[in-house]
Chains A and B, each alone.
Chain A
Amino acid sequence: MRDRELEKNLKSIPVKKMRAGFRSSLLERLKEEARPAQAPYHASPGLVPAFNFVMIVLIAVLVIALYVSPSWPPSQALTGAGNTAIIETGQGLYSKEGLAFRANVVKTEHCGLVSLKEAGL
């Protein structure tokens, strides 16, 4: 008997199949288990290094900007209310929101809460 004929005979022998009930219940379970995986977002692998690079550059720029700024670092915690600000000796003028003004009025012995008007702005 030739190989091809033998293979044909082998293929014509009926084989066992998975039980229909088990098959359908397993499929339903698999579909259920597949769904929760939809929730978390997985970034495309190619995006991750690009994102990391952008973040590193941004952080570096921020650190350099803060370091170069004459009003950084503040020597003490700053607070303010309304249009008032704290003037720190030799450091600069800070608004309530913490934004630093490169004000001319930076040299003062006064350290405490003053109005912006009083500070000369």
Chain B
Amino acid sequence: MGGLIDFIKEKKIKRGLKSGDPGSIEMLFEAYADKLYLYAISLLNSAEEAEEAVQNLFLKLVRNPSVLNEIKSIRAYLYAGTKNESINVRNKRKKDLSLDDGGLESMFAAETTGREDLAVLKDAVEELPPEQKEVVVLKVYEGLSFKEIGAVLEISLNTAASRYRYALNGLRQKLEGDDK
């Protein structure tokens, strides 16, 4: 049922964006801005650049809503677009600065929960190989299915699922290693 509602909502948003309805872009922004920002910061390790990537994505969409004619799912489009914009921002950073990355920012908030195991888990996520971390972010924090992850990352459903499995195993090992 949720799928049907999402489908109807997407249709409405697509129509609204094409006719220049500010309410539609607001609806889309409110639904996805924070999620896309989190995905971007997990890729870029920079809050400022993540904001830039999300901004570029939404501006492109507003300025050229006809791109929606060619896409099936707005959600998949937004995540794939965030990834592309993040790559663009990263390439620009490399051109602008021939320095190293400097301090990498975490996607996690500085605030602590007081739980030692979560602090370990936080570090363990940051230390995952990038392709595994990306799948964990999309699956756990963004709520995408393996099929959607596959579409966003242009990999098969099985590859997405196996990367996730490797990531969870890695995290589990880190936690258990920490316990010993």
Contacts and interface: CB of A to CB of B under 8 A. Distances in A.
B141 A15 contact: yes
B29 A15 contact: no
B19 A38 contact: yes
Nearest to B172: A1
B160 interface: no
A3 interface: yes
A118 interface: no
A1 B175 contact: yes
A22 B172 contact: no
Contacts of B65: 37
B93 interface: no
Contacts of A42: 18-19
Chain A binding surface SS class: helix
Interface residues of B, number: 46
Contact of A13 (B29, B30, B63, B121): B121
A17 to B, nearest CB: 6
Contacts, number: 108
Nearest to A41: B19
A37 B15 CA distance: 12
A38 B51 CA distance: 27
Interface residues of A, number: 31
A33 B136 contact: no
Interface of B: 17-22, 24-26, 29-30, 33-34, 37-38, 41, 47, 50-51, 54-55, 58-59, 62-63, 65, 105-109, 111, 113, 117-118, 121-122, 125, 136, 140-141, 168, 171-172, 175-176
Given A6-B175, A33-B62, 9 more contacts: A1-B175, A9-B118, A9-B121, A16-B107, A19-B47, A23-B34, A26-B55, A34-B22, A36-B20
Interface of A: 1, 3, 6-7, 9-19, 22-23, 26-27, 29-39, 42
